[in-house]
Homo-oligomer: A and B are copies of this chain.
Amino acid sequence: MNVRTLCLGILSLQEASGYEIKKDVEDGLFSHFLDASYGSIYPALTQLAAEGLVTVRAEEQTGKPDKKVYAITPAGKNALAKAISVTPAKDKYKSEFLFQMLLQDFLSPVVMLVAIQKQLDDLNEDLGHIANCGPVSGGGSGAQFVAEYGHAVLTAGVKCLEYKKAELLQQLAVQAAE
């Protein structure tokens, strides 16, 4: 899936500017399974508008720069429906954290502890993003499904890491006592 489809998908839930789409994938409900940078979002939006799949409207704001609000068109909805009806690619998960843990023989216990804590913070941050969006938001039942799935998976990770962390802490304490 490319950034074009991503934008179309978000715009099908609500109107938004490029800046707001970036926020959605950075801090919003979608942050834990989507990603895109300004460098890909803005060109995609321009292209989408040129093809008539979205409309643009300049919105003046007081105290803030003007923004371009994009909205999906019927043609855009068709294109979106087509794009997401194909069997999706398998989820991609890349974790440098797990790579580090795999190679823990090369790491000092302190470095390990720092890495685990960082991972814990990252997971909790994502959990926070999901919680912030509240039970109802943009995508209705779809958003709820995604929130529940994310919550389940993220929570499982946290639980596992809390256990590991406690284990490590105890080991460190024993070592210090010797």
Mostly, the A contact residues are helix
Give complex CA distance A150, B99 in Å. 12
The verdict on A69 contacting chain B, using a C-beta distance below 8 Å, is no
Question: If A103-B9, A104-B142 touch, does A91 touch B80 (CB 8 Å cutoff)?
Answer: no
Query: Are B95's CB and A139's CB within 8 A?
Result: no
* Chain B min CB distance to A168 (Å): 10
A81: chain B residues at CB < 8 Å are: 106
Question: If A149-B157, A149-B161, A153-B153 touch, does A97 touch B106 (CB 8 Å cutoff)?
Answer: no
Query: Are B9's CB and A98's CB within 8 A?
Result: no
The verdict on A140 contacting chain B, using a C-beta distance below 8 Å, is yes
> Quick one: which of B148, B161, B164 contacts A160, CB cutoff 8 A?
B148
A33: chain B residues at CB < 8 Å are: 93-95, 98-99
Query: Are A157's CB and B152's CB within 8 A?
Result: yes
Interface residues on A, range: 35 or more
Closest B residue to A123 using CB positions: B91
* Chain B min CB distance to A37 (Å): 13
Query: Are A103's CB and B89's CB within 8 A?
Result: no
Q: Mark A89-126, 1 if CB is under 8 A from B, else 0.
A: 11111111111111111110001001100110010000
The verdict on A49 contacting chain B, using a C-beta distance below 8 Å, is no
Query: Are B157's CB and A90's CB within 8 A?
Result: no
Give complex CA distance A71, B146 in Å. 43
* Chain B min CB distance to A165 (Å): 12
The verdict on A88 contacting chain B, using a C-beta distance below 8 Å, is yes
Closest B residue to A122 using CB positions: B90
Query: Are A92's CB and B94's CB within 8 A?
Result: yes
Give complex CA distance A145, B157 in Å. 12
The verdict on A131 contacting chain B, using a C-beta distance below 8 Å, is no
